[in-house]
Chains A and B, each alone.
Chain A
Amino acid sequence: MRALLAFLSGGLFGAGLLVSGMVDTRKVQGWLDIFGDWDPTLAFVLGGAILPMAVAWRLTEGRRPALGGVFPPKPPVRLDRSLIGGSVLFGMGWGLVGLCPGPAMASLTFGGVEGLVFFAAMLAGMLIARPIRSRLEAMPSPA
């Protein structure tokens, strides 16, 4: 049952990425191109996506997930090097190519060789992120 619901969620996510235009790198780069020919479509995508989730978070209060377990607790507010530095690196890659992890996977079956190369490079990046992270965290904090 958990796997079935996960499959359905993933499927709806993938369909939404396709319908919204998030798999179109030109649209994504157009959205990031604030100093050029700016394309506001992604604001509608993000706004549309946040709406049902804001309702969902409300519904979690005082309840448990339908399939058991507990809801993920809110993480402590920790604005560390990994969060900031990682987000900057991610943003650079997102801007360079116009794909983030969700759309990279949603477009795997029709994104051509370049899409496959991007996915492979992303997997490699995910693998080397672990040692980088432990080094970052071992470094003494400047503050």
Chain B
Amino acid sequence: MLQQDWIMGAIGGLMIGSAAALFLLANGRIMGASGLLGGLIDGSGRSNLGERVAFLAGLILMPMMIIPLYREVDTHITSNLWVVIAGGLLVGIGTRLANGCTSGHGVCGISRLSVRGIVATLFYLLAGGVTVLVFRHLLEVI
């Protein structure tokens, strides 16, 4: 079963990369989820409001439309709301400070051999690994 997960991962990954390629080649924009959302809510992205809203609408609505194809989809998110809130705050602050997240720095940055993208990805992977180590294996809260 694990093997099948890898295949679905690669297929989904190709879809993600194709979406980023389309957004770049057609609109000339970098597909960064945190930047597109962040610019919308803090007012820094007023000049291309329509484009941002349209992208985010597609991102939110398309999964809703294809979810009936799945027998069950569970995000398996923790029910500990303190952990959820802390995680959300950290992701929000961190991605805006770093000017990017997994899609912007990871997918769009690495594929361009951007030093900033590669360095950011190394640091968030490292921090994520240490966090899971500490909170799962040492403190056993996640």
Residues of B within 8 A of A140 (CB): none
Q: Which residues of A contact B78 (CB under 8 A)?
A: 25, 97, 114
Find the A residue at minimum CB distance from B11. A19
A93 with B21: CB separation less than 8 A:
no
Shortest C-beta distance, B1 to chain A (Å), equals 11
Q: Are B20 and A13 in contact (CB under 8 A)?
A: yes
CB atoms of A93 and B137 under 8 A apart: no
Q: Is B128 in contact with A44, judged by CB distance below 8 angstroms?
A: no
Which B residues are in CB contact (< 8 Å) with A51? 13-14, 17, 111
Q: How large is the interface on A (under 10, 10 to 19, 20 to 34, 35 or more residues)?
A: 35 or more
Query: Which B-chain residue is minimally distant from A1 (CB atoms)?
Result: B26
Check if A127 sits within 8 Å of B41, measured CB to CB: yes
A-B contact count (CB 8 A): 484
B93 x A45 contact (CB < 8 A): no
As a 0/1 sequence over residues 7 to 38 of chain A, the CB contacts with chain B under 8 angstroms (1 = contact) are 11111111111111111111101001111100
A18 shortest CB reach to chain B, Å: 5
In the complex formed, the residue of A with least CB distance to B95 is A90
Do B59 and A106 touch (CB < 8 A)? Answer: yes
B89 proximity list for chain A (CB < 8 A): 93, 121-122, 124-125
CA distance A4 to B50 in the complex (A): 10
User: Contacts of A88 on B, CB cut-off 8 Å?
Assistant: 94, 123-124, 126-127
Q: Known contacts being A7-B58, A118-B88, is A18 close to B63, with CB within 8 Å?
A: yes
Residues of A within 8 A of B57 (CB): 7, 10
Q: Which residue of A lies closest to B22 (CB)?
A: A9
CA distance A117 to B98 in the complex (A): 23
B77–A46 CB distance below 8 A: no
Residues of chain A whose beta carbon lies under 8 Å from any beta carbon of chain B: 2-27, 29, 32-36, 39-57, 59-60, 64-72, 74-75, 77-79, 82-112, 114-115, 117-130, 132-133, 136
